[in-house]
Structure 1
Amino acid sequence: MQQVQTKTKGKRLKHSRYITGFDGVRALAVIGVIIYHLLPYKLQGGYLGVPTFFVVSGYLITDLLLQEWEQNGRIDFLGFYARRLKRLYPALVFMLVGTGTYITLFQRSLLTNLRSIISSNLVYLYNWWEVGHGQSYFDRFNGESPFTHLWSLSIEGQYYLIWPLILIALVLIIRKKKTIAYILLAFAVISALLMGFIYTGPSTLNRVYYGTDTRMFSIIFGAVLAIVWPSAHLRKHINRRSRLILDGLGIGSFLLMVYLYFELAGQNTFTYRGGMFIMAIASMALIATCAHPGADVNRWLTNPVFSWIGTRSYGIYLYQFPVMIFYEMRVPDIASHPITHAVIEILLIMGISELSYRFIERPLRHYNYRKLGETIYEFVQPNSKYGLKRLWLAPAVILVGVCLYGSAIAPTKAGRNVLQESILKNQSSANVHNKQALAKQRKARKIAASKKRMKHLLNKKLTIKQYKIAKKYQLTKQQYLTVSHQPLTAIGDSIMADNSHDLQTVFKQAYVSAKVGRQIWQAGDVLKELKRKNELAPNVLINLGTNAPMTPAQVKSVVQTVGKGHRIFWVTTHVPTRNWETEVNNTIHQASKTYKHFYVIDWHRYSFNQTDWFWGDNVHPNPKGNIYYTHLIAREISKHLMMK
């Protein structure tokens, strides 16, 4: 993410060397993060590139601070902080101002809390703001913020501020590097254990994912490595056996990192109870072998492509979310060509990052701010040497002004649109109906659900009210009477939350548990609680997959939680604005071939190209769409029930 300078007071440290392979490590990390955000189904663990960045930062900063201490007998703290600010602040400020301006002008739905978001980022406390106010890092649909990814920069900023002071205190008080390494290693283990203990499920995800204390072990591992494996004291000439061991360790750690990239989902409990810890260790091993001049790993990770990506990785990481989110908000059908759109987004990110590197990051990093007054004086002179370059001041002032205006008018609480009001209204109605539905389900269990009883129900005449309901939802008498008396447990996200009133109008015994932003990995707790209370109906309807991708393993977990003796009806997703739509639906269809009593309700196919069925987001059914959504569910469930 960041390229650490190796200079002190403008002079390069005597024994310091630029390790070109570290650009390759950064490149691998940022590639993982980018692919994860663009194509999460292809690389579900790509977010683990962030711990790798942390380990690199921990190693480089500690290594350089110790080199400075050994060479000069002191550390220039003010110089260190100045170099860090010159390296990090210009691009960060530009990204915050540019993004804030775009939101103010073109995407005001994202204005909420803009003032707090910008201010907390400028003081590097945004990760803690996210703990209390932000959404899950893995919620890919529900109002995803273009600033969410900046949490990691805040943790690094806190590290840069505090770590030099702690390091020198340890050196002065304890002195023995071996003892210091053991102490730091103990703190790293405590940090990892804290992550595991605090994480108890989705409700604590933000706390462990964004918290400095629960993520610090990756940076500490890098610091420990710098103490026991200082780059300036590693011998270039080693025997063949040692070189082969180092190369083997490098290859092994790289393969383990790749495996975790593909296999370790962010919603997996193991991720927080050992997974990230293993990733940090693997990253530390790769960095150790890359840093050693006697190994071949540094050479393997050195090439023009990795060098270009690595030196610009900070900018690439900064601009990725704004580009992705703004692009996907403007392109209505990402799902039809996910790879093509991903390539376009990558090109945009790379282009903006290159411009930022050339015209913002590199010039301002090397600028002598002691000459700021002199520069301003020269800038305003009639015959200034800056000439037409001064015209850039006008758009810069406009950008800052618009961003400040947006921050001033930004609400601290998101307003509700028509869709959100509809969801809240229907959720409230569902809560009332749920109590009645459970009572009816308990009563129904006492009556044998025999074919004779079903035949008796189907022979009954429709009342006027029932006739109107059947007609509204385009159901035959047999379809309506079949489902209206069937116990049903419905688990879903905002799609089902908005449809709950229609669903319970047709299914009189339907218990609906639906929540905005719900993802598949949150369904388990709901199902377990219903089973514990013996309130899980024989028919289980699930509508999940809108807010994030899901894997066959996650579907399997839900099926196993539901257990035997229940029929599962899973609704395919209609979310053309997200690249995981096709993969999610393929996973659902495949599950129907794998598990007995697992039936697909193909809402995606049924609603294809029916744009007048949806609100403006082309994802949530409007009142007209809800009628068709309910019709399809009732029709499909009745078909399977009549076949049993």
Structure 2
Amino acid sequence: MQQAQKSNKSRGKRLKKSRYITGFDGIRALAVAGVIIYHLLPYNLQGGYMGVPIFFAVSGYLITDLLLQEWEQNGRIDFIGFYVRRLKRLYPALVAMLIGTGAYITLFQRSLLANLRSIIGTNLVYLYNWWEVGHGQSYFDRFNGESPFTHLWSLSIEGQYYLIWPLLLTAMIILIKRKQIIAWIMLAFAVLSAVLMGLLYTGPDNLNRVYYGTDTRMFSIVLGVTLAIIWPATHLKASISNRGRWTLNWMGIGAFVIMGWLYFVLSGQSVLAYRGGMFLMSLASVALIAACAHPGSDVNRWLTNPVFAWVGTRSYGIYLYQFPVMIFYEMRVTNIAAHPLWNALIEIAIICVISELSYRYIENPLRRYHYSELPSAVKNFFSQQSTFGLKRLWVIPVVLLVGICAYGSAIAPSKEAKTALQKDIVKNQAKSARKNKLALAKQKQAEAAAKSVKRQRELLKKKLTPSQKRIANNYGLTKLQYLTVHQQPVTAIGDSIMADTSHDLQTVFQQAYVSAAVGRQIWQASSVIKQLKNKGELANNVVINLGTNSPMTASQIDSVIKEIGPKRKVFWINCHVPTRNWETEVNRTIALAAKKYSNVYMIDWHSYSQGNSNWFWQDNVHPNPTGNTKFVQLVATDMSKVLKIK
């Protein structure tokens, strides 16, 4: 028993020649800061999601460097010891996060219960990324039922790497022996992984396979592995020439500049991100790691300070708890958009507090705990003379949380139950689909009539039929407004807001074709427009309602407007999404596009609906039946001003 305890304790000791490189905490801090800022303020750092490849590269380097040191000192790698250390480091906080989040969902947010059992199970065996490929939503769909577990995909890839790599490295050392050849093989694997990502990328509509797949994301880790083989930390000499020192310094500075540039410019919907962009970020990360690892450079010192040390050592917890905090907070605070920066700071503060508590009371103690002592500790816990004292009371909330999470997992449905809003959207989409065929059949005739000013004037002089009068009254339209728009050929393209209002829209705009989909993003619009143009089905008046589901850039709006063309009128409805921090920026971007293009008109739904919470369902984003009427009233009123006959 004592021998086993001694063996277990030795597994936790640092290797004799191992160096703790403090600058790596700085690199981790830069990575986690990018991810957090991207999720909280996506307009300000649209490439922040690429903090993950930085984490991967650091992990690839550090783990391989330690394994190679162990091989050099002992002539073997202690697989069991390695796996035990990894589990002790990673598992306690992961399990705590899964239990805490699952319990919160069970108690307070049952709309997120769907698939909880599968999500927890696949995370515990580090296969969640592959589950996400088949079941999860896009990482960039920030509105449509965003999950508090989505970000854990990267931990599964890391877990798979920890399981396989020690075995594979040992086999390669024994069979190939020469490190140079092993390094070339690993570099080839990294390039192959990056090429596979580019080949499997088919566009922004279907990102899950390339974004979550182990094979398409492994290049970042493998580049770190390659660096560790050719640039081992314990073999680098501190004594180098001044020229060599500044070569390393400039390499680090250049890498930092490239990483910062990619943080600010490379959107997650960009083709370049998947065909070279993430690979470039990984190369830059490896260059920064190389400069930081060398004891002769100044980069390690530059990246060492108390703030970076605190963030870097707690980066695992910060990454773990970020999504649950953000999603639960934003579900409770209904007007995030009013003060996005203040709310972001509050969320960061909550994440930091929880991460600090996790680090102090879960991660650090359990990483150093000798589990061989567990049986005697349990016996001591239940004995009358227990040394634990009042600390034993902590078992009560722990057992309660585990029980609540287990209950939630047991009752969790495999499919999300439809809410009243979702049922309303489905009903309106079905009605819209029936009317779309009729609308397309009549649009050509209506287009010809619209070109004749004389014909339009004659139409405006007509009296309203009883049915038309009722429609005009229901939607608060004057006779002139109604007659101006009711036979105008219109193509309406949008997301769930458009899907929800589609029936009302086609009631007033009788020649409107509606293409709406729940969760539709700005980067999906161009392909929809292109398909309609190719079929000759894109009307001269195009109504766009996008911006609810995620932030969007000026270049993304430009591409949509250019695809529609300068000869068509574009009516872009801005968004009412107070529960998301991008509302103000999205609406500002739409307003700037309306000023930039003479054929683009902004319909200000945001201002019109302000202060009318009774127009919306419980989410305060989607219009309810009253809101649908007001929505269409605004669209018809604004369009009639532009389309009026002189």
| TM-score range for the pair, normalised by the shorter chain length | over 0.9
Aligned residue for 1:11, secondary structure, equals: coil
Residue 366 (structure 2) aligns with: 364
Aligned amino acid, residue 131 of structure 1: V
Matched, 1:352 2:342: no
Q: Is the 8 A contact 1:236 1:292 kept in 2?
A: yes
Aligned residue for 2:491, secondary structure, equals: strand
The C-alpha deviation readout for 1:498-537, integer Å capped at 9, x for no partner, is 0000000001110101111111011111011111111111
Residue 113 (structure 1) aligns with: 115
Unmatched tracts of structure 2, length 5 or more: 1-8
Q: Is the 8 A contact 1:198 1:204 kept in 2?
A: no
Partners of 2:455 and 2:203 lie apart in 1 by: 43
> 1:255-404 maps to which residues of 2 (within 5 A)?
255-404=257-406
1:447, distance to aligned residue in structure 2 (A): 4.5
Partners of 2:178 and 2:484 lie apart in 1 by: 78
Aligned residue for 2:414, secondary structure, equals: coil
> 1:550-569 maps to which residues of 2 (within 5 A)?
550-569=552-571
> 1:138-287 maps to which residues of 2 (within 5 A)?
138-287=140-289
CA root-mean-square deviation: 1.0
Q: Is the 8 A contact 2:25 2:309 kept in 1?
A: yes
Q: Is the 8 A contact 2:456 2:645 kept in 1?
A: no
Q: Normalized against structure 1, the TM-score is what?
A: 0.98
Q: Is the 8 A contact 2:453 2:645 kept in 1?
A: no
The C-alpha deviation readout for 1:560-608, integer Å capped at 9, x for no partner, is 1111211110001000000100000000101111112010000000000
> Among 462, 465, 470, which residue is 1:463 paired with?
465
Aligned amino acid, residue 128 of structure 1: W
1:446, distance to aligned residue in structure 2 (A): 4.6
Residue 574 (structure 1) aligns with: 576
Residue 105 (structure 2) aligns with: 103
Q: Is the 8 A contact 1:469 1:506 kept in 2?
A: yes
Partners of 2:626 and 2:559 lie apart in 1 by: 34
Q: Is the 8 A contact 1:141 1:548 kept in 2?
A: yes
Residue 62 (structure 1) aligns with: 64
Aligned amino acid, residue 242 of structure 2: R
Aligned residue for 1:490, secondary structure, equals: strand
Residue 89 (structure 2) aligns with: 87
The C-alpha deviation readout for 1:339-384, integer Å capped at 9, x for no partner, is 1111110000000000000000000000000111111111111111
> Among 591, 594, 609, which residue is 1:592 paired with?
594
1:263, distance to aligned residue in structure 2 (A): 0.6
Partners of 1:448 and 1:223 lie apart in 2 by: 66
Aligned length: 638
The C-alpha deviation readout for 1:608-634, integer Å capped at 9, x for no partner, is 001111111110111001101000000
Partners of 1:81 and 1:559 lie apart in 2 by: 54
The C-alpha deviation readout for 1:6-44, integer Å capped at 9, x for no partner, is x96233212110000000000000001000011111111
Aligned residue for 2:542, secondary structure, equals: strand
Aligned residue for 1:512, secondary structure, equals: strand
Partners of 1:176 and 1:302 lie apart in 2 by: 35
Partners of 1:40 and 1:379 lie apart in 2 by: 48
> Among 440, 443, 448, which residue is 2:442 paired with?
440
> Among 625, 628, 633, which residue is 1:626 paired with?
628
Residue 419 (structure 1) aligns with: 421
Q: Is the 8 A contact 1:63 1:231 kept in 2?
A: yes
> 1:17-96 maps to which residues of 2 (within 5 A)?
17-96=19-98
Partners of 2:379 and 2:324 lie apart in 1 by: 36
Partners of 1:392 and 1:448 lie apart in 2 by: 75
Partners of 1:303 and 1:38 lie apart in 2 by: 25
Aligned amino acid, residue 624 of structure 2: N
Partners of 2:424 and 2:569 lie apart in 1 by: 30
The C-alpha deviation readout for 1:108-156, integer Å capped at 9, x for no partner, is 0000000000000000000000000000111111111000000000000
1:204, distance to aligned residue in structure 2 (A): 2.5
1:458, distance to aligned residue in structure 2 (A): 0.6
Aligned residue for 1:203, secondary structure, equals: coil
Partners of 1:377 and 1:487 lie apart in 2 by: 79
The structure-2 alpha-carbon separation of the partners of 1:8 and 1:435, relative to structure 1 and needing over 3 Å to count, comes to farther
The C-alpha deviation readout for 1:449-493, integer Å capped at 9, x for no partner, is 121111011111111111100110111111111111111111101
Aligned residue for 1:335, secondary structure, equals: helix
Aligned amino acid, residue 418 of structure 1: A
Q: Is the 8 A contact 2:450 2:488 kept in 1?
A: no
Partners of 2:265 and 2:19 lie apart in 1 by: 35
Residue 3 (structure 1) aligns with: none
The C-alpha deviation readout for 1:415-468, integer Å capped at 9, x for no partner, is 111110000011111111111111111233454612111101111111111110
Aligned amino acid, residue 191 of structure 2: V
> Among 484, 499, 502, which residue is 1:497 paired with?
499
Unmatched tracts of structure 1, length 5 or more: 1-6
Partners of 1:222 and 1:587 lie apart in 2 by: 39
Aligned amino acid, residue 458 of structure 1: L
> Among 497, 501, 510, which residue is 1:508 paired with?
510
Residue 478 (structure 1) aligns with: 480
Residue 5 (structure 2) aligns with: none
The structure-2 alpha-carbon separation of the partners of 1:247 and 1:634, relative to structure 1 and needing over 3 Å to count, comes to same
The C-alpha deviation readout for 1:315-339, integer Å capped at 9, x for no partner, is 0000000000001100111000011
Aligned amino acid, residue 556 of structure 1: D
The C-alpha deviation readout for 1:381-408, integer Å capped at 9, x for no partner, is 1111111111101111000000000000
Matched, 1:410 2:427: no
> Among 601, 613, 616, which residue is 1:614 paired with?
616
Residue 519 (structure 1) aligns with: 521
Aligned residue for 2:644, secondary structure, equals: helix
1:201, distance to aligned residue in structure 2 (A): 1.3
Q: Is the 8 A contact 1:569 1:598 kept in 2?
A: yes
1:556, distance to aligned residue in structure 2 (A): 0.6
The C-alpha deviation readout for 1:240-289, integer Å capped at 9, x for no partner, is 11111110010011011111111111111111111101110110111110
Partners of 1:12 and 1:497 lie apart in 2 by: 59
Aligned residue for 1:413, secondary structure, equals: coil
Q: Normalized against structure 2, the TM-score is what?
A: 0.98
Partners of 1:24 and 1:553 lie apart in 2 by: 33
Aligned amino acid, residue 272 of structure 1: Y
Partners of 1:445 and 1:552 lie apart in 2 by: 31
- Report which stretch shifted further, 342-351 or 561-570: 561-570
Aligned residue for 2:338, secondary structure, equals: coil
Q: Is the 8 A contact 1:575 1:581 kept in 2?
A: yes
Partners of 1:37 and 1:174 lie apart in 2 by: 44
Aligned residue for 2:451, secondary structure, equals: coil
- Report which stretch shifted further, 445-454 or 425-434: 445-454
- Report which stretch shifted further, 526-535 or 78-87: 526-535
Partners of 1:156 and 1:146 lie apart in 2 by: 19
Residue 4 (structure 1) aligns with: none
Q: Is the 8 A contact 2:65 2:229 kept in 1?
A: yes
Partners of 1:197 and 1:20 lie apart in 2 by: 38
The C-alpha deviation readout for 1:42-62, integer Å capped at 9, x for no partner, is 111111000000000000000
